[in-house]
């Protein structure tokens, strides 16, 4: 109800990080988490210290993408109520997936918008984050009050929107741009994921979801296109294996695509 009006929250600057990059998508399944994690690793490879906050409380996939599980340890040095972020590949990582017992992981996580906001606040303020250059937040998909609630609590440096070139995904991506503009979050740009398929057998290139969709949308909306990531088996396999491609094979063509995105971000 307060979209475009006065927000009951003033977004807070996070003391432990210089920059906060929120990765969003208008709908699920377009590769938002894949882009979040590979962007985090690519940012690290160009010299930033990076943390990842998996705010996709409806379906936290960061633990899976980084092969991490179990509860976070508690800080024994001082304030024992603080959790320690998990560490993987040099990233500090926090996810709701760590806090939900394994036997409940297959149940649907039902959250109301304000509950999402307070769950995120817990993961921000009840966690002993070490100082970092950039926190990458993997937001829940969509443009509902969960996303708004986060944008209005945390001062986000900029948002990266992930979309496929397909019209239906782009309509949702436009809604994402509109949402962030209404809450005064700068848009860094749009990443075109699943931009084209390359056959692992013959190398044939096929624009499964259409061509040029994100580029045209960026022009219409006046936002930057941050890059195009191909649809490739190796991206899916490395993610499923818990070592994203930018970590496992940083010299690959696909990793270079993610690195180009990171440089623009
Ligand atoms: P979202 O976070 O938007 O729901 P995910 O990042 O979980 O999407 O990706 C959905 C599925 O698509 C996952 O199985 C993931 O491995 C796969 N995927 C995402 N991007 C690519 C890509 N560029 N190439 C191959 N598979 C991909």
What is the per-residue DSSP string for 8-40? SS-PBPPTTEEEEEEEEESSTTSSHHHHHHHHH
Q: Average model confidence (pLDDT) for the chain?
A: 89
Say yes or no: CB of residue 232 within 6 Å of ligand 1.
yes
Q: CA separation (Å) from 153 to 46, 74, 112, 122, 148?
A: 29, 25, 15, 12, 9
* Cβ of 236 less than 6 Å from ligand 1: yes
Q: For 51-60, 102-111, 124-133, which range has the lowest pLDDT when averaged over its residues?
A: 102-111
Best of 31, 36, 38, 194 for a ligand 1 pocket test (most atoms within 8 Å of beta carbon):
31
Count helices and strands in the chain by DSSP H and E runs: 9, 9
Separation of CA 31 and ligand 1 centre (Å) = 4
Residue to substitute in 193, 239, 240, 258 for testing ligand 1 pocket (most ligand atoms within 8 angstroms of CB)? 239
The answer to whether the CB of 193 is under 6 A from ligand 1 is: yes
Q: Does pLDDT of 4 surpass 60?
A: no
Q: Give residue 1's pLDDT band: very low, low, confident or very high (50, 70, 90).
A: very low
Q: pLDDT tens for residues 29-45?
A: 999 999 999 999 999 99
- Going from the Cα of 262 to the center of ligand 1, the distance in angstroms, rounded, reads 18
> Is residue 9 over pLDDT 70?
no
By alpha-carbon position, which residue is closest to atom 14 of ligand 1?
Answer: 236
User: CATH code for 20-264?
Assistant: 3.40.50.300
Q: 32 CB less than 6 Å from ligand 1?
A: yes
Gyration radius of the chain over CA positions = 18
Specify the DSSP class assigned to residue 208: T
Q: Work out whether strand 187-198 and strand 205-206 pair parallel, antiparallel, or are unpaired.
A: antiparallel
Check pLDDT > 90 for residue 135.
yes
């Amino acid at each position: 109800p307060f979209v475009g009006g006065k927000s009951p929250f003033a977004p807070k600057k996070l003391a432990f990080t210089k920059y906060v990059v929120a990765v969003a998508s208008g709908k699920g399944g377009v590769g938002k988490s894949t882009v979040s994690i590979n962007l985090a690793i690519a940012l690290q490879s160009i010299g930033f210290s990076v943390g990842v906050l998996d705010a996709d409380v409806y379906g936290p996939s960061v633990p899976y993408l980084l092969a991490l599980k179990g509860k976070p340890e508690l800080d024994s040095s001082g304030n024992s109520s603080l959790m320690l972020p998990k560490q993987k590949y040099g990233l500090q990582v926090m996810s709701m997936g760590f806090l939900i017992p394994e036997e409940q992981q297959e149940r649907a996580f039902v959250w109301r918008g304000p509950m999402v906001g307070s769950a995120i606040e817990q993961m921000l303020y009840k966690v002993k984050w070490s100082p970092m250059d950039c926190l990458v937040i993997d937001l829940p998909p969509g443009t509902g009050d969960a996303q708004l609630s986060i944008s209005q609590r945390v001062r986000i440096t900029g948002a990266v929107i992930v979309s496929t070139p397909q019209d239906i995904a782009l309509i949702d991506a436009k809604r994402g741009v509109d949402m962030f503009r209404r809450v005064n979050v700068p848009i860094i740009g749009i990443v075109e994921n699943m931009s084209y398929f390359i056959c692992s057998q013959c190398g044939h290139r096929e624009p499964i979801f259409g061509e040029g969709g994100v580029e045209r949308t960026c022009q219409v909306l006046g936002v930057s296109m941050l890059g195009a990531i191909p649809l490739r088996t190796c991206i899916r396999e490395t993610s499923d294996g818990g070592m994203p491609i930018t970590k496992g094979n940083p010299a690959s063509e696909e990793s270079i695509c993610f690195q180009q995105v990171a440089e623009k971000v």
